[in-house]
Structure 1
Amino acid sequence: MDMQADGYVFRSPSMTLTLSPIRPVRRLIPEQDVHNDGGDLLAFTTRCSAQAPAATVEIMGSSFTNFRGHGFWARDGLLEVWLEALAEVVPTHAPTWVQDAQRHWRKQARIGFQGCVDADLDALLTSQDRVAVALRLVDQAHEHLIQLAGPNGRIPSAWLNERRVGGSNPWGADLDLQPVRQIANAFAALIQGHLRTTATTSPLLPRPASQQP
């Protein structure tokens, strides 16, 4: 693999492939994960990318949430709201690994990454028992957000700003709950093993109403 000013050039006995990088890209899969299988198959993937902001989310970037080889792309702002809700429902006397997850999710929710928000599910959910605990947290976090949104279906900007969700830039308006619910549903389906998309096949969430199943 050669790096040129205008992109990456991959060479194999049968082809030369030039890829122009997305700019700005915050982090790439480590070099050891760029595979050359007999010169015929060249795999190059990213975990995060910079995107134009959605109309309802004033944070640029998208991140891929991965678990056991599958996952989904989501707008950073919405994913950060979801991780903050997950962290908030962790009980005080939870097992150590759950407290570790809480600290990690809260950090990811509050730093204000532009791409590369990482729930770190493979490192945290190392057994089916842990998956079961995580699914209970998912249900509780979902209910927590529904209660926060209330009858008008909008998460208060005050709640988001008090917790500095997304970093130092304040939320100027309440947030529609429905796009966050798409993230929550995908997250639940992923850890249950029902979501089978990958970084190359997943749509970017939230999907417009016209594209939802």
Structure 2
Amino acid sequence: QVAEEALKELEKGVRSEQIAAASSRAQEAAAGAKLVEAGARVEDIRAADAQVLAAKGQLALIETSIAELTIVAPAAARIETLDLRPGDILLPNATAAVLLESDQLFVRMYVPETQIGMVHPGDEVPVYVDSFPDRAFKARVQHVDMQGQYSPRNLQTADERANQVFASRVDIIEGKDVLRAGMAAIVKVPRPPGAP
């Protein structure tokens, strides 16, 4: 009986389910071929774009976290004091370190009123320090204050007026590699010819 059924099947030909399945596979293959020819679908492109944007967002978040963990000096400088250790939490606007800017080495000079006419911004002057007594370091007068300091209230005599001084800033031009902030220094202002 099984043989008779198989014979009947062969006589009928291919079954309708097989035809439908093959037809469906052919349609899928044709659709796949069209998709390959046409490129990716709009939905696939949008999904991929969304994944790229999400990855960029994660990268930006990581970069921001790294930037927040990095301390950057506002200028070229040497660290004078650093009171932080790994793992310390730094509060916003708290001092992380004390820096000495390498291009900001200067001498604060006080010029007596009787000699104020000998000092002008832009003048080059020699600076001497105890560590290098035989070496003159080049410096330039940056500015001279317009208002006197350390003066008594009532300046009546010439001797009293000599007590008044004018603060001046003298920027160091050479020797920044050996001079240090806080060193005592002597600035020698050249006297003009004929000055007492």
* Larger RCO (CA within 8 A; separation ≥ 6): 1
Structure with the bigger percentage of strand: 2
Normalised TM-score (structure 1) = 0.21
